[in-house]
Chains A and B, each alone.
Chain A
Amino acid sequence: GDSVTQTEGPVTVSESESLIINCTYSATSIAYPNLFWYVRYPGEGLQLLLKVITAGQKGSSRGFEATYNKETTSFHLQKASVQESDSAVYYCALGDLAYKVIFGKGTHLHVLP
């Protein structure tokens, strides 16, 4: 079946440092799945951070970026300069033709002030 593998956490970085959270996917039910990053801030529910539905395209939101790379089946999340308020759990996910959305295990990010 379809699956998503992402950086195991927790990941700890200092404020203003750069960040990359790796995500790779395996899709057997669909050639080019839709790819998502969701985020859960402390005390809140999961919410969409960004999504990309076309291979080769880049999505961005709140200073985060992710590029859909079909050659390497990757969708890494990057940010040039993190802030303390970015501390959260980040989930990479893929969507298939049956509307099912498969999530990775989540990466807990701690940003030190």
Chain B
Amino acid sequence: DMKVTQMPRYLIKRMGENVLLECGQDMSHETMYWYRQDPGLGLQLIYISYDVDSNSEGDIPKGYRVSRKKREHFSLILDSAKTNQTSVYFCASSLGGVAETLYFGSGTRLTVL
């Protein structure tokens, strides 16, 4: 069963708290992604991971960091969350080729108060 799982689905945090968003995939995909989606802005790439401990910044990495210690797990960390990081976060994975399909999770809606 090809699946990308994101936890949690909904999260409310206070400004300054640390946030951990987790993503898992069961397809042994090499490449994984974190995007955020805001109204009127579409999906913006935060980080891309090419494999374990091989991560690269996307278009909006500021305020975020990632961790990938196992191929099937990719975490997004917000150290001291800010209100402007309120958004819906999507994780995706792919086999890793230039034309490969991305498989998305259902998203995590994060609210930072």
Same complex for A and B? Answer: yes
Q: A-side interface residues toward B, CB under 8 Å?
A: 1, 34, 38, 44-48, 51, 53, 91, 95-106
Question: Which of A51, A100, A104 is in CB contact (< 8 Å) with B48?
Answer: A100
Contact present for A100 and B101 (CB under 8 Å)? no
Residues of A with C-beta under 8 A to B45: 100-102
Residue of B nearest to A40 (CB): B104
In the complex the two chains form, what is the Cα distance from A34 to B94 in whole Å?
14
Q: Assess A1 versus B104: contact at CB under 8 Å? Given A99-B50, A99-B97, A100-B48.
A: no
Question: Which of B43, B59, B103 is in CB contact (< 8 Å) with A91?
Answer: B43
In the complex the two chains form, what is the Cα distance from A99 to B97 in whole Å?
7
Contact present for B102 and A53 (CB under 8 Å)? no
Interface residues of A: mostly helix, strand, loop or mixed?
Answer: loop
Q: Assess A51 versus B101: contact at CB under 8 Å? Given A100-B58, A101-B33, A101-B45.
A: yes
In the complex the two chains form, what is the Cα distance from A99 to B54 in whole Å?
13
Chain A-chain B contacts (Cβ-Cβ < 8 Å), number:
58
Residue of A nearest to B6 (CB): A45
Q: Could you list some 13 contacts between A and B, CB below 8 A?
A: A34-B98, A45-B104, A46-B43, A46-B90, A46-B92, A53-B98, A91-B42, A95-B98, A97-B98, A99-B50, A100-B48, A100-B58, A103-B42
Residues of B with C-beta under 8 A to A106: 42-43
In the complex the two chains form, what is the Cα distance from A98 to B103 in whole Å?
17
Q: Assess A104 versus B99: contact at CB under 8 Å? Given A1-B59, A47-B104.
A: no
Taking A44-B106, A45-B90, A48-B101 as given, write out 7 further A-B residue pairs in contact, using a Cβ cutoff of 8 Å, ordered by the A residue number: A45-B104, A91-B43, A99-B50, A101-B33, A101-B45, A102-B59, A103-B44
Task: Check B25 for interface membership: any CB of A closer than 8 A.
Answer: no
Q: Assess A34 versus B99: contact at CB under 8 Å? Given A105-B41, A105-B42.
A: yes
